[in-house]
Amino acid sequence: MAMQNNSLKKNIKVKKHRSIIYDIIIEKFFYIAGFSSLLVLLTIMIFLITEGLPLFREMIKPKLEKIYKYIRSRTSAFIFHHTCGASYDFIGDLIDIGMDILNPVQPGAAGMDMAKIKKNFGKRISFWGGMDIQQVLPHGTPEQIKSNVHMAIDTLGKGGGLILAPAHNVQGDVPPANLELMCREAMEYSRG
């Protein structure tokens, strides 16, 4: 029993220190960044995937909510939240605390089905991404690139709310011609 109590006290102490560290990071970020932008980009990686949603809700969400409230109290900027990969389980929580734009919608990541995301969250937020940066843009045929453009626009863009873009930073293995094709096809296809 004494061993369990010591372990519990240690876990509480670690969580308290993490909380203090997060508070310091938040304060320093806003001191340095200020609010001159119309779009506030928050890159707070959801690195707790291995620990799951309960730990996110306990440790990160309350701090993130403080950040969002701080932003909302000083600007009418949209809150653009970056989270890599399999973020489906976190989207509802992010919306509940004020996220306006999810970046990226990463095709191919576990649970990131574009139709499901649009159906469940499309009336409340906008989406940034939809283009596969791991297979289609670097290695795809022109037909595959066009198909990805059409699927993203038809699914995430239906009724508005899509900023079509690569699902993450464009890497060196993406031929410039493929990016040009993506942009050209998006413009042509969007015109109907």
The model's pLDDT over 67-112, given as tens digits with 9 standing for 90+, comes to 888 888 888 888 988 887 888 999 999 999 999 999 999 998 999 9
Residue 113: burial class (beta carbons within 10 Å; 0-12, 13-18, 19+): middle
Phi, psi of 80 (to 5 degrees): -105, 115
Strands 162-166 and 101-105 turn out to be unpaired
| Domain membership of residue 145 as a residue range | 100-192
Scored b (16 or more CB within 10 A) or e, 103-112 reads bbbbbebeeb
pTM: 0.77
Please name which of 96, 69, 86, 168 lies closest in space to residue 128, comparing C-alpha atoms.
Answer: 168
123, part of any domain: yes
- How many structural domains compose the chain? 1
